[in-house]
């Protein structure tokens, strides 16, 4: 009768758990047996590491294997302001859009100058953004282009292989050979699929695959101020890395030359904003508190593409 295997000590389990949670957030191996490679680096067996990852996924601490698109992948991003006559209905509709990565609702200080709700959408091109906006209960009042996708000039990147790109955005399973079921679905060999991913990575279209914790989509309070184009200061004061300054050039339907967004609370918003505003020496047209939601950590650029 085989001797039962002695379980590893708690310290070993704890170390493996931390490694599984944090060790491959940016460099999940593009390899036929990624967990075998990862196990060699962690000092565990492939079985131990994979079992730990699967336990963490069942508990909600780990997501499926996720794609992170690279900086060289063209995309279209806009910031949109809405009147929000029925705010909750609009928020629900925005959350369902695969390109929505942020929703800001004005909680304190809304006035006639400012729409009641803002959203940021990122899509693979401008046409995709318009298709998503067409499904909303109301059109935006103000629009600011943050990124413009170049025209698709062909090639062999994700925009030319949208079924593969869409399948990656759905996530890969936590199993010993996670690329095999995807290759079968797309009727390709595993070698062809991995060669494509490595090529995308070298070209900068794919940053990496990630074994990461689920994104934090809970609400966040932001103290905010906005200056109109005509008086927006051009020199910005140095501040903490948490601050987000958003200067913009004049554009049709966009009256704001500068935004300041600062993580805060309702109790501290006024004093924190006042310090930053004083450093500029120009009073903003509006200041108040936003409540930000993040429906997802990254836009699903190819969600409308069939992956079968």
DSSP string computed for 143-209: EEEEE-PPP----SSGGG-HHHHHHHHH-B-SSSSTHHHHHHHTT--HHHHHHHHHHHHHHTSEEEE
Per-residue burial over 105-137, b if 16 or more Cβ lie within 10 Å, else e, is bbbebbeeebbbbbbbbbbbbeebbeebbeebe
Neighbouring CB atoms inside 10 A of 7's CB total: 8
Neighbour-count burial of 223, counting CB atoms closer than 10 A to its CB (0-12 exposed, 13-18 middle, 19+ buried): buried
pTM: 0.81
- Rounded Cα distance between 216 and 30, Å, is 26
Placement of tokens 């998503």 in the chain = 132
Length of the chain: 308
Map out the domains of the chain as residue ranges.
10-62, 70-308
Tell whether the torsion through CA atoms of 136, 141, 144 and 150 is positive or negative. Answer: positive
Among 250, 261, 174, 256, smallest CA distance to 209 is for: 174
Placement of tokens 């935004």 in the chain = 259
Among 144, 152, 105, 102, smallest CA distance to 127 is for: 152
Question: Cα Rg for the chain, rounded, in angstroms?
Answer: 23
Tell me the two tokens of residue 255. 């009256």
Among 157, 170, 182, smallest CA distance to 34 is for: 182
C-beta separation of 142 from 254 below 8 A: yes
Placement of tokens 């390109």 in the chain = 99
Placement of tokens 């593009």 in the chain = 30
Give the pLDDT of the chain (308 residues) as one tens digit per residue.
555 554 544 444 556 666 665 656 678 899 999 988 888 887 788 888 888 889 988 988 888 899 999 999 999 999 999 988 899 999 999 999 999 999 999 876 555 557 789 999 999 999 999 999 999 999 998 888 888 876 655 578 999 999 999 999 999 999 999 999 999 999 999 999 999 999 999 999 999 998 887 877 678 888 888 888 888 877 777 666 667 887 877 665 678 888 888 887 767 777 878 888 888 888 888 888 888 999 998 999 998 754 33
Long-range contacts, stretch 199-202, CB < 8 angstroms, 24+ apart:
199/156, 200/70, 200/157, 200/158, 201/30, 201/70
């Amino acid at each position: 009768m085989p001797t039962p295997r002695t379980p590893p000590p708690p310290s070993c389990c704890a170390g493996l758990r931390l490694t599984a949670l944090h060790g491959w957030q940016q460099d999940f191996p593009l390899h036929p047996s990624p967990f075998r490679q990862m196990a060699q680096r962690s000092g565990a067996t492939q079985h131990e590491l994979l079992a730990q990852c699967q336990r963490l996924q069942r508990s909600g601490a780990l997501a499926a294997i996720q794609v992170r698109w690279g900086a060289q992948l063209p995309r279209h991003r806009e910031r949109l302001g809405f009147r929000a006559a029925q705010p909750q209905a609009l928020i629900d509709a925005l959350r369902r859009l695969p390109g929505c990565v942020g929703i800001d609702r004005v909680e304190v200080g809304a006035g006639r100058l400012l729409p009641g709700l803002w959203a940021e959408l990122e899509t693979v091109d401008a046409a995709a953004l318009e298709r998503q906006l067409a499904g909303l209960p109301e059109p935006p009042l103000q629009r600011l282009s943050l990124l413009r996708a170049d025209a698709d000039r062909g090639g062999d990147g994700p925009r030319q292989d949208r079924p593969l790109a869409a399948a990656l955005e759905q996530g890969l399973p936590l199993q010993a050979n996670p690329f095999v079921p995807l290759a079968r679905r797309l009727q390709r060999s595993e070698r062809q699929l991995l060669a494509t991913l490595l090529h995308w990575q070298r070209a900068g279209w794919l940053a990496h695959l990630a074994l990461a914790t689920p994104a934090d989509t809970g609400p966040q309070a932001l103290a905010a101020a906005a200056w109109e184009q005509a008086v927006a200061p051009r020199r910005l004061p140095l501040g903490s890395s948490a601050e987000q300054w958003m200067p913009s050039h004049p554009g049709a339907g966009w009256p704001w030359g500068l935004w300041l967004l600062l993580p805060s609370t309702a109790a501290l918003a006024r004093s924190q904003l006042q310090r930053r505003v004083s450093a500029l020496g120009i009073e903003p047209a509006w200041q108040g508190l936003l409540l930000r939601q993040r429906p997802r950590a990254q836009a699903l650029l190819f969600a409308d593409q069939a992956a079968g």
